[in-house]
Amino acid sequence: MPVITTLEKAVREKLALVKDPEIDSVSVLDLGMVEQITVDGSSVQVKMLPTFMGCPALEIIKANVENKLLELDWVENATAVFVYDPPWTSERVTAEGRERLKEFGIAPPPEKIGPDGAWHVDCPYCQSTYTTMDNIFGPTACRSILYCKQCKNPFEAMKPVSTMM
C-alpha cells in the first residue's frame, strides 16, 4: 500500500502541472476535474470530469494529461477518460483554484445561489461587491461576463453549475 500511495502522489504532482489550456494559472486538480487515479504496475488511468460537454479544450486536456504522466520514468501507459458520473459542479473548484482564478482576472464561481437562481460575485481585481452581469454566456462555455462599477473593469466569472439546477 505505501508504494501505491507514493506512486499516486507522483501522479498528482504531475497533474498539478497540467493547466487549463485557456486559464494557465489553474491546473486540472485546482478545477476539481480529477475524479480518480488508478495505478496498475506501469499503467495509470485518470478518470476526469468535463466541466462543460461542448468544451473544445477537452481533447487537448486529455492529451496533455496523458503526455505529462508519460514523463514519469515508471509510466508506460497513461490514459485519461472523461466520465459524467459524478457530474462536475462548480463546488469542486478547490480553495487554491479559487485564488488562482482571481489571479487570472476571473472571479471564482459563487458559493451560494439564490432560490430564484440569481447569483452574485465580487470583482476579482478590487474585491468590490458593486458588480453587474453583462452576459451570462462568456467567451468559453464555463464563463460569464460581468462589469465592476467600482474599478470600472469588465471581468469574467466561472459560471455556477449545480445538480440543483
Which of these ranges, 16-24, 96-104, 139-147, 148-156, lies near another protein under the rule CB under 8 A?
A: 139-147
Decide whether 126 or 138 has the Cβ nearer to another protein: 138
> Does the footprint of another protein cover residue 154 (CB under 8 A)?
no
3-state DSSP assignment of residue 101: helix
> Does the footprint of another protein cover residue 81 (CB under 8 A)?
no
Decide whether 5 or 135 has the Cβ nearer to another protein: 135
CB under 8 Å, gap of 24 or more: what pairs does 81-87 form? Answer: 81/45, 81/46, 81/47, 81/48, 82/48, 82/49, 82/50, 82/58, 83/35, 83/47, 83/48, 83/49, 84/49, 84/50, 86/35, 86/49, 87/49, 87/163
Q: Which of residues 43-62 bind another protein (CB under 8 A)?
A: 50, 52-56, 59
Distances (CA, A) of 39 to 35, 44, 64, 79: 14, 5, 18, 11
Closest distance between another protein and the C-beta of residue 155, in Å? Answer: 15
In the sheet that holds 106-107, the strands lie side by side as: 106-107, 154-158, 143-148, 131-135
Kindly determine how many residues on this chain lie close enough to bind another protein according to the rule CB under 8 A.
Answer: 28
Closest distance between another protein and the C-beta of residue 53, in Å? Answer: 3
> Does the footprint of another protein cover residue 10 (CB under 8 A)?
no
Given candidates 67, 137, 149, 152, which one binds another protein under the rule CB under 8 A? 137
Report the interface residues with another protein, using CB under 8 A.
Answer: 50, 52-56, 59, 83-85, 87-89, 117, 134-141, 145, 159, 161-163, 165
